[in-house]
Structure 1
């Protein structure tokens, strides 16, 4: 048996003990170092994290501002209702959960479709409504079974309501749930991101969109202490939300209603402006839509109806639609002739009923012509030949330059987004518009039809009303606006949207009088006489008919043409003619004759605004043109 040396064994034992001691000391050193790091170096960080776990910040969504008309009629309002909501990320099987919920909550197929659409547009962790406006009984039934449905809850939310439904829908617009594109834009802005916490809706169109910052308000916050399971224990502090500001409009709701009803089922637009301020009194686009459909998230079926309709109810024709102005262009052409010195008021032409230019013959609607025609008569009888010759003398660039000063072919700057520029033709425009060299050249013959509001001319009803209002205001152009006051809901102070004159065209009084005399004559002796028979105020107006497609020399027979290919009917006016309070432009798509379809609508609007006279009964049927009218095509 081999004997071990005691000293050697003791030395090895001491080495092991020393190694273990070093290991223990290093281990304790690391623990102490980590303790120092966590408790001293990173104290503030982890203390904040712990506090955040203990305290939750809950956003408090502010009341959205209201919109009223000029007389205080409420056009938008808010109300609170219970909503059944699902957070998809917290639910194992969505379909099964919805099926189980539908056993005691009325969930319709349309609710499922809307939920599916919202799910596609939203982030998976967001809470989405499966049913809105729950009754108290439905709320009680769910609460009794809540424990069975993790990820499903009842929430009280504020909803937007448009009490008059379709009234002024294109002007007011609508709100809808924030989509991913809008959310990305909000998150890129730190201030916006903070203010939109908890907010699920945003203005999509109209005033709801363009005045979103005013209407939204400032989000409040509540500090709530929570337990380990995330349940609220008590409220620690509360910063109340600041409601959004209210908007008071220049629009008259009753005038708007009368104008909309006057269209009946016809497509078209009307814009009425206060000449001395630029305030919009009515802005009509028909057909309309119900903005209430969008508040909860529009159902696919309703969206398909609106989106696929041939009548295109979602298009704001007043600011987006571009149409040839037809004969309503003639008073502006006449003013252009006076201002540029191309014609005097007394200069007269002999009208044979046509104008020959090169190998082309441009015909007037009246066979045999109107005889001798000066400027005033040219407006009253709407003599095409007079304006064919005038356009030829002025040339396209002179016409374009003058019409551009009146606002044609450019955005007016109205406080609603999405305005079109329209088309103001010129040589420069054509070079930019077309790619091929042969298409870019402007031919002198193309200028002829420009003079009667045809050819490449295409303007929005707003631009037409804006130019008419400028004429009514003596050449002073105001920026159109539909909001008159922004009202602070906290202090009650009203901030006025000041009328903004953007140009003074310097029209001479004698020139304005010539145009006024011609336009007044239209409604006494000319094409507007029937619509304004017995009127108790003086109206300066002009009818117009705009061709939709070329007849190639054929005779226009309305009954033999597809309804959507018939001429557009137009009418412009301002009244009273000697002290204008309102300017209006009316367009009836495929309405035929301006005198029969558009002028009667303007008469109803002017009668109510100036005299308080409301039309009796429902909107009138389309009137028939008088075959004896000297210029029935207008």
Structure 2
């Protein structure tokens, strides 16, 4: 049977149609399968990806914790920050708007260029900061004229503020903007205007003060504009820190040494609480928060009196005669001298082929320990220092906190230097000599201390020999307070030294007798010191030693004083150092007297007799 052409064409069409239909069926099945996978199997995954494009998680900056003094006065607080932003998409001409805004607040050309760069860099609907930390009058003027300032957006935020300005600068430090090296350390650092601690307690305790960030889940469109807030977790404010410092005492001490390059530390001798920690001159930490100018910073940096240095913990000085109590205790404890032995001072002390001198050119004659402390006889202390040796002196100094860092949450604290034989061999490559011991015996040579260490030394001496440590922060709830250990010393020997310190002020032969308190019921004891900053040559001694006031400022002695009061029941210790101030009895002792007198008057302490029996002074 012969197949016709039409039949062949039909069979060929049917075969092709079947193939096409089969192909379409396969494609349709694949498409349906893919749709099923996307909408059913992969639903959760693709919903999450869609949400990520639609939902934005944004950080909420926490409010920084406050720093308060012991009476609740604000030292570092937060206050409203009045600022002005510009939203580029809401103005046809950004430069014209800025030009109009200049009628109400100053905008430098440099600032204008920075604003325009930010406008180009950011999306048009995002605000760009034009000015911040405005006073209320300026902020109000801008608000009143908003109709004439298209795109301008007045705004209120929070900024750090130091109401006491330079009074507490060296204690609290300051905050400042995050720099490029720090930017990746914490997501919070990327928030516009976020600031962190850069100095002082603001820096050391930054984590506690910073708080914890919150977050806001917001719905945004494809351009990133916020449509609505979906959920919110509020931030947690930083801790409030309560200092042991008393603002009023701090203010009195700062005012008293306002014109000096000086340091004053005041402590409670029993608790170790620091009541004042003053270093002058200082600076205004608000300048760093707002953005200090290069000119102002250079002035601070190159000031010979070093206002950026916290002298109370960073300044290291020869203690001069304030160290003599340590030498006296070491000698008494070793039994190489007693309180009654008299040593002759003719103003010279020979050791090896070297002659050392007493500050009093005619000498003190025969003096016992109390008289030597009261009159600050150098020959007496040269003699007993060489007798007792540097090892015992070093050990005694360590018991009283010299050469120790106390870590009181203020950066840059120095250890000073409590020298020993081993230290000299390790650092100088030479053996310790008798002349070295004699120098240390009067607080010169290699020994160095900080004003904080001197105040700790006096506190431990007058509180009955308890190894109290300085504290600048009250403990948090639940924190334990350590009880200070007793220093293993003879109580009788401590009393001998205290008798000498009381005589410094209250006996006619004391070097600071002129500074005794004449108000009824007030008394204090202490020890003066004058630390040389340059060696006096033999030629100068042969002709005439220049008085401090005849020397250039940098060549004058440092003036020191350590004191305590009241005598019969010590409560406060104070240390004073006036850089290049000259004599301790004339410069530093009057400052300490005024500080203690202020505290006695303010606290209305029970009367303490100014006149004492001979065996109690």
Structure 1 and Structure 2 fold alike (TM over 0.5): yes
Q: Which residue of 2 aligns with 1:230?
A: 224
Task: Give the SS at the match of 1:293.
Answer: helix
Distance 2:590 2:112 in 1: 44
Asked if residue 287 in structure 1 is aligned to residue 269 in structure 2, the reply is no
Distance 1:358 1:606 in 2: 44
Distance 1:346 1:14 in 2: 135
How far apart are residue 364 of structure 1 and its match? Answer: 0.5
Greater Cα shift, 364-373 or 460-469 = 364-373
Distance 1:60 1:413 in 2: 33
Distance 1:592 1:401 in 2: 30
Q: Which residue of 2 aligns with 1:534?
A: 518
Q: Which residue of 2 aligns with 1:491?
A: none
Cα deviation 1:234-269 (Å, max 9, x = unaligned): 333332333333222211111111101111311010
Does the 8 Å contact 1:110/1:299 carry over to 2? no
Cα deviation 1:62-85 (Å, max 9, x = unaligned): 332222222222223211223245
Distance 2:273 2:12 in 1: 102
Q: Which aligned pairs between 1:587-602 and structure 2 lie closer than 5 A? A: 587-602=577-592
Unmatched 5+ residue regions in structure 2? 605-617
Distance 2:141 2:49 in 1: 41
How far apart are residue 165 of structure 1 and its match? Answer: 1.2
Does the 8 Å contact 1:479/1:499 carry over to 2? no
Q: Which residue of 2 aligns with 1:305?
A: 299
Greater Cα shift, 155-164 or 468-477 = 155-164
Q: Which residue of 2 aligns with 1:138?
A: 142
Q: Which aligned pairs between 1:266-345 and structure 2 lie closer than 5 A? A: 266-345=260-339
Q: Which residue of 1 aligns with 2:67?
A: 67
How far apart are residue 404 of structure 1 and its match? Answer: 1.4
Q: Which residue of 2 aligns with 1:157?
A: 157
Does the 8 Å contact 1:61/1:198 carry over to 2? no
Number of residue pairs aligned between Structure 1 and Structure 2: 581
Does the 8 Å contact 2:142/2:154 carry over to 1? no
Task: Give the SS at the match of 1:306.
Answer: helix
Does the 8 Å contact 1:415/1:480 carry over to 2? no
Greater Cα shift, 424-433 or 346-355 = 424-433
Cα deviation 1:67-107 (Å, max 9, x = unaligned): 2222222223211223245899x9xxxx9799657645623
Q: Which aligned pairs between 1:20-419 and structure 2 lie closer than 5 A? A: 35=35, 38-40=38-40, 42-84=42-84, 103=102, 106-109=105-108, 112=111, 129-134=129-134, 135-139=139-143, 145=149, 147=151, 155-184=155-184, 186-187=185-186, 193=187, 200-419=194-413
Q: Which residue of 1 aligns with 2:529?
A: 544
How far apart are residue 229 of structure 1 and its match? Answer: 3.5
How far apart are residue 18 of structure 1 and its match? Answer: 8.5
Q: Which residue of 2 aligns with 1:622?
A: none
Greater Cα shift, 26-35 or 240-249 = 26-35
Unmatched 5+ residue regions in structure 1? 188-192, 487-494, 615-634
Distance 2:11 2:418 in 1: 106
TM-score by length of 1: 0.82
Distance 1:443 1:11 in 2: 123
How far apart are residue 196 of structure 1 and its match? Answer: 8.7
Task: Give the SS at the match of 2:527.
Answer: strand
Query: Structure 1 residues 450 and 369 mapped into 2: Cα distance closer, same or farther (>3 Å)?
Result: same
Q: Which aligned pairs between 1:389-468 and structure 2 lie closer than 5 A? A: 389-434=383-428, 437=429, 440-468=430-458
CA-based RMSD: 3.6
How far apart are residue 47 of structure 1 and its match? Answer: 1.9
Asked if residue 473 in structure 1 is aligned to residue 473 in structure 2, the reply is no
TM-score by length of 2: 0.84
How far apart are residue 503 of structure 1 and its match? Answer: 3.6
Distance 1:469 1:62 in 2: 40
